[in-house]
Amino acid sequence: MNDPFKQASAIRKVLTANEDAAGRIDAFLTEALGGEFSRNRIKSLIEQGEVSINGKVVTEGKKKVQPGDVFEIGMPEPEDPEPKGEDIPLDVLYEDDDVIVLVKPPGLVVHPGAGNWTGTLVNALIHHCGDSLSGIGGVKRPGIVHRLDKDTSGVMVVAKNDIAHRHLSDQFADHGRTGPLERAYMAVVWGRPRGLKGTIDAPLGRAGDRIKRAVKREGDDDAREAITHYQVIERYHERPDSTALAAMVRCNLETGRTHQIRVHMAHIGHPLIGDTDYGAAFRTKANLLPDEAKAVVNRFPRQALHAFMLAFEHPATGETMHFESPVPADMKELVEALRSGD
């Protein structure tokens, strides 16, 4: 099949459909532009009157393409973002024209929302990236393709343009089943999971409110597949019966649901230390620890979870990118306290 478009002029967004042209114009333009813009972005441009066929503006994406149609696509300058840039320090591991990879500290909210309209990672990225943001969906903003909870630290990748955003979004939606995407976390949990490794395959859904999640039965309306693979890395204060008061566990995500690791580890009886949402009933276990370790555990301010490794395919070069970040200072102090007196 011939390339359905040929350049009609030196202007980048003037295109002529050849004899193979067919289908709705929104779907056709999305494919013809090589994935440069999402279909929703193309639909938005059509509705805004930015697309003309044979010199006449078209406002409906369902209109059919005809061989020989000449398209002109006007590309307005990306709008300024609603969130404002803020000079918040960032720990950047890598950056180019397409992506930025960074380590999110604990306590930083990723995206502005109710109760957190400022002081977020998005505000920091808008300030840091400046004009290098070419626009996501027509707006100068960073493309968030995955999130970490406010009190979870670790490695994140963010898109800086539409093409990168679409490519990375597809990788995360695929959960790494057909590509190099990989996400690994370190968690410090109460007790010690049975065996040295295992898989938790338990669907998740809402737990009665907008944020919290719970394990659901197969077939429940809101049940979504969730799979976590875990491996015990260290055990603390192990007993003669092979149980332990706590353990460090590596968790690899096969899916990426909200609060997945936190809910899954609590589901098998080993909630994360510091997790007040899913492990509050285990706080008294700190009384079994030596005084120094007990004090550190009791003042630990968050769930003990760090996204230490992220791998993905670069959206422009196709290269597999791999990044790691050691656990932050607060988790390091927690682990050292649990090791002491063991």
Residues involved in catalysis:
149
What angle, 0 to 180 degrees and rounded to 10, lies between the N-to-C axes of helices 25-32 and 39-47? Answer: 130
Which one-letter amino acid corresponds to residue 58? Answer: V
User: How many other β-carbons are positioned within 10 Å of the β-carbon of residue 312?
Assistant: 25
* CA–CA dist 45, 40 (Å, integer): 9
* Pairing verdict, β 153-159 and 182-190: unpaired
Token pair belonging to 97: 């024209």
Residue 65: name the closest of 105, 26, 120 by CA. Answer: 26
Token pair belonging to 67: 């061989």
User: How many other β-carbons are positioned within 10 Å of the β-carbon of residue 156?
Assistant: 22
Point out which residues pair with 93 in neighbouring strands. none
- How does DSSP assign 310-332, residue by residue? EEEE-TTT-PEEEEE----HHHH
Burial 282-303 (b: 16+ CB within 10 A, else e): bbebbeebeeebeebbeebebb
Q: How many helices (H) and strands (E) does the chain have?
A: 7, 17
* CA–CA dist 7, 12 (Å, integer): 8
**3-state DSSP assignment of residue 333:** helix
**3-state DSSP assignment of residue 38:** coil
* CA–CA dist 157, 73 (Å, integer): 30
